[in-house]
Chain A
Amino acid sequence: MTTLDVAGVVKPRRRLADSFPGYRKLVGLPNADKVGVGVLLLLVLVALLAPVIAPYPPIKLAGLPFRPPLQGGHLMGTDEVGYDIFSRVLYGMRTTLVGVVVVVSSGVIIGGLVGLVAGAVGGWVDTLLMRTTDLFLALPGPLLAIAFVAALGPSYDHILLAVAVVWWPFYARIMRGEIRSWRVRPHLDAARLAGTGPVRRAVRHLLPGAMPAILVTASLDVGNLIVTLAGLSFLGLGEPAPAPELGAMSARGLQYLLQEWWVPVMPGIAIFLLALFANLAGDAVGKIAGDHR
């Protein structure tokens, strides 16, 4: 594993894998976690490639209505109209993943910024920002999200907006706590003595330390968010029919449950699998980052 250079000094050979931070830890994970990460990546890939993989367009008659799964080339059967459920589920997964990315990144950005400013500046700014955050945390988020979308009118964009509005305070709290704990470390004094300005100190010396905790929180949050978004879509707050949204598909198929169970159940199972493997992968990310919870 080592090479001898001219001077005879033993030098470790640099491997490609070492340039990816966390790779070694990923390899060292228990198998269950590897499976979690692997299957999630596979699901994400399948969802992103929906237009390529899906045998039919999401909104196009694919056959007779109510064909059971595995019959006539329909992996998950067809729905009440005759659309191919498998194709629609793939597109629905894509919509779900886009939503998750939007809400989580807005949470990380807005909450992170609030927490960073509060923690780094301190004083009355800290008090003001954190009191506001606590106020938001004390309100029943999911309920307000329902009211929010109902006020603006049902649409998937409004669901994302509403959830993003109630989602950031968690991140603000965690970011602020991390920043406060990093602020008292000696390297901050060193930076100050070196004449580093406050903005650069916050961004270059405080933020990197807080990022692992934020990323772990975000990755553990994904499963939760998938279920929440699906619930709002189920209530009819998303796009009108026939848009392929997993929650709404399940809700519209509800009336056929006892005869054609696959119509409402298949989209629900897709949500469950996405959330399950997101949670498993989230745990793995927590372990890689050294459990910063």
Chain B
Amino acid sequence: MIRFVTKRLSAMVIILVVLTAVVFLLQQASGINPVHAYLGANASQAAVAHETKVLGYDRPIFRQFLTYIGHAVQGNLGRSLRTRDAVATNIASYLPATAELALAGLGLALILGAALGLGSVGRWRGSGVLRIILLSGASVPGFLLALLGILLLNGKLHWLPATGDTGYNNAPTGPTGMMVVDTLLHGNLAMFWDAIVHLILPAICVSLGPAVSIGRVLRTSLESSMGSDFVRTARAKGLKEKTVLVRHALRNSLSAALSMTGLQVGLMFAGIVVIETIFAWPGIGLYVEQSIPSADFPAIAGVTLVLGVAYVVINAVVDVLQAVVDPRVAIA
């Protein structure tokens, strides 16, 4: 077990280095001179040359890469061309809202995924509908879902707000930066409810894609579990079909769904960028979307690095968790 964990974690470190290398190379390929970015457009040539030397951008590319990794580890991600702030500062101010949306989306995805997987496996009335949801859910682009959701729930029914994470101008901004948590910590229930209402639609849109993937994997592995010997035994001893499904088959099918969840986080991050754009959600995705037209690559690189690291770490943790749940994984 310890060997497996060490092996998985060292693989994680290698992957992180490669991720940083890819982002670094993209930064080189983007043709943006970081010194120009740092000094601004009006800097004299002498100043640029001097600063290039001071900042080490005249050194061999491998040395620059080492510096880049060093800076990244210390939380220095360069300077945004658009906002003129340190990218890390920008990200720090946008990240909590994204984390809030991602956590809500992931929670919903797990619940929905489990419901879709469990519901569509048997042959009961309504399971066909769930299968159709599984199929069309895999085909609907996140932004279409968001558009239709806004049209129906905001435009027609006026149930939910369409933009932002709060309707209050004086909403709390600390301590966590997550609106739902902050309003609760301040004990303002009206604002808390408002935050929840703002969160519902974006969270559903973010969660549907991953939920469908999780549901499909769960359904496939549930179906193979339901045909296995231990399920026959459980049925033979007279257990109800529901008990067999939930207590016996589900436990043995969770492993695949769990690793699918880890993989889906990557897709979800990409989906969040789109969803945040539509809902004007004040998160990292909105920051990326605003950085694209102004070719602010340091900003995009910073976000890619932060979300990429989160993705890689989450997947390493999922693998270790899987080994804990099912020790056979560690031996293979």
Contact with B along A116-154 (1 / 0, CB 8 A): 000000000000000000010011111111111011111
Q: Are A143 and B147 in contact (CB under 8 A)?
A: no
Interface with B: A86-94, A188-196, A266-274, which one?
A: A266-274
- The answer for the CA separation of A144 and B139 in the assembled complex, in Å, is 22
**Chain A contacts of B267 at CB under 8 A?**
142
Query: In this complex, what residue of A is CB-closest to B278?
Result: A254
Contact with A along B158-188 (1 / 0, CB 8 A): 0000100000000000000000000000000
- The answer for the CA separation of A145 and B11 in the assembled complex, in Å, is 22
**Chain A contacts of B270 at CB under 8 A?**
140, 142-143, 145-146, 231
Contact with B along A201-233 (1 / 0, CB 8 A): 000000000000000000000011001001100
Q: How many pairs, one residue from A and one from B, have CB atoms within 8 Å of each other in the complex?
A: 144
- The answer for the CA separation of A201 and B181 in the assembled complex, in Å, is 62
Majority DSSP secondary structure for residues of B touching A:
helix
Query: In this complex, what residue of A is CB-closest to B154?
Result: A258
- The answer for the CA separation of A235 and B269 in the assembled complex, in Å, is 13
**Chain A contacts of B147 at CB under 8 A?**
250, 254, 257, 261, 264-265, 268
- The answer for the CA separation of A293 and B307 in the assembled complex, in Å, is 31
* A237 within 8 Å of B (CB atoms): yes
**Chain B contacts of A147 at CB under 8 A?**
23, 26, 300-301, 304
* B203 within 8 Å of A (CB atoms): no
* B225 within 8 Å of A (CB atoms): no
Q: Are A275 and B141 in contact (CB under 8 A)?
A: yes
* A279 within 8 Å of B (CB atoms): yes
* A251 within 8 Å of B (CB atoms): yes
Query: In this complex, what residue of A is CB-closest to B268?
Result: A142
- The answer for the CA separation of A207 and B278 in the assembled complex, in Å, is 45
- The answer for the CA separation of A269 and B136 in the assembled complex, in Å, is 12
Question: Residues of B within 8 Å of A, CB-based: how many?
Answer: 51
Tell me the residues in window 238-282 of chain A with beta carbons closer than 8 Å to chain B beta carbons: 247, 250-251, 254, 257-258, 261, 264-265, 268-269, 271-272, 275-276, 278-280
Q: Are A152 and B19 in contact (CB under 8 A)?
A: no
* B143 within 8 Å of A (CB atoms): yes
Task: Give min CB distance, A259 to chain B, whole Å.
Answer: 9
* A234 within 8 Å of B (CB atoms): yes
**Chain B contacts of A150 at CB under 8 A?**
30, 291-292, 295, 297, 300
**Chain A contacts of B189 at CB under 8 A?**
none
Q: Within the complex, which residue of B18, B273, B297 is in contact with A135, where a contact is CB–CB below 8 Å? A: B18
- The answer for the CA separation of A145 and B304 in the assembled complex, in Å, is 10
**Chain B contacts of A276 at CB under 8 A?**
135-136, 139-140
Query: In this complex, what residue of B is CB-closest to A254?
Result: B278
* B144 within 8 Å of A (CB atoms): yes
Q: Are B308 and A139 in contact (CB under 8 A)?
A: yes
**Chain A contacts of B307 at CB under 8 A?**
140, 143
- A138-B15, A140-B266, A231-B270 known; A146 vs B300 contact (CB < 8 Å): yes
Q: Are B27 and A151 in contact (CB under 8 A)?
A: yes
Task: Give min CB distance, B160 to chain A, whole Å.
Answer: 13
Interface centre among A227, A237, A250, A271 (most CB of B within 10 A): A227
- A135-B18, A235-B274, A236-B289 known; A143 vs B266 contact (CB < 8 Å): yes
Task: Give min CB distance, B68 to chain A, whole Å.
Answer: 15
- A235-B274, A276-B135 known; A143 vs B143 contact (CB < 8 Å): no
- A146-B300, A271-B144 known; A139 vs B289 contact (CB < 8 Å): no
Contact with A along B111-141 (1 / 0, CB 8 A): 0000000000000000000000001101111
Query: In this complex, what residue of B is CB-closest to A279?
Result: B139
Q: Within the complex, which residue of A140, A148, A227, A257 is in contact with B151, where a contact is CB–CB below 8 Å? A: A257
**Chain A contacts of B311 at CB under 8 A?**
140, 143
Contact with A along B243-283 (1 / 0, CB 8 A): 00000000000000000000000110111011001100000
* B148 within 8 Å of A (CB atoms): yes
Contact with B along A156-173 (1 / 0, CB 8 A): 000000000000000000
**Chain A contacts of B154 at CB under 8 A?**
258
Contact with A along B1-37 (1 / 0, CB 8 A): 0000000000100110011001100110110000000
**Chain A contacts of B271 at CB under 8 A?**
231
**Chain B contacts of A268 at CB under 8 A?**
141, 143-144, 147
**Chain A contacts of B291 at CB under 8 A?**
150
* B312 within 8 Å of A (CB atoms): yes
**Chain B contacts of A280 at CB under 8 A?**
135
- 12 extra A-B contacts, CB within 8 A, seeds A151-B30, A257-B151, A272-B136: A135-B18, A140-B307, A142-B269, A142-B270, A146-B300, A148-B26, A234-B274, A236-B289, A250-B143, A261-B151, A272-B140, A276-B139
25 chain-A/chain-B pairs, Cβ below 8 angstroms: A135-B14, A138-B312, A139-B15, A139-B19, A140-B308, A143-B266, A143-B304, A144-B304, A147-B301, A150-B30, A151-B29, A224-B138, A227-B141, A230-B143, A231-B271, A231-B274, A235-B277, A247-B141, A250-B147, A251-B277, A254-B147, A257-B151, A258-B154, A258-B155, A271-B141
Binding site for A on B (CB under 8 A): 11, 14-15, 18-19, 22-23, 26-27, 29-30, 135-136, 138-144, 147-148, 150-151, 154-155, 162, 266-267, 269-271, 273-274, 277-278, 288-289, 291-293, 295, 297, 300-301, 304, 307-308, 311-312, 315
Binding site for B on A (CB under 8 A): 135, 138-148, 150-154, 223-224, 227, 230-231, 234-237, 247, 250-251, 254, 257-258, 261, 264-265, 268-269, 271-272, 275-276, 278-280
| Interchain residue pairs A-B with the least CB separation, the first 6 | A142-B270, A268-B144, A140-B266, A275-B139, A151-B30, A276-B139
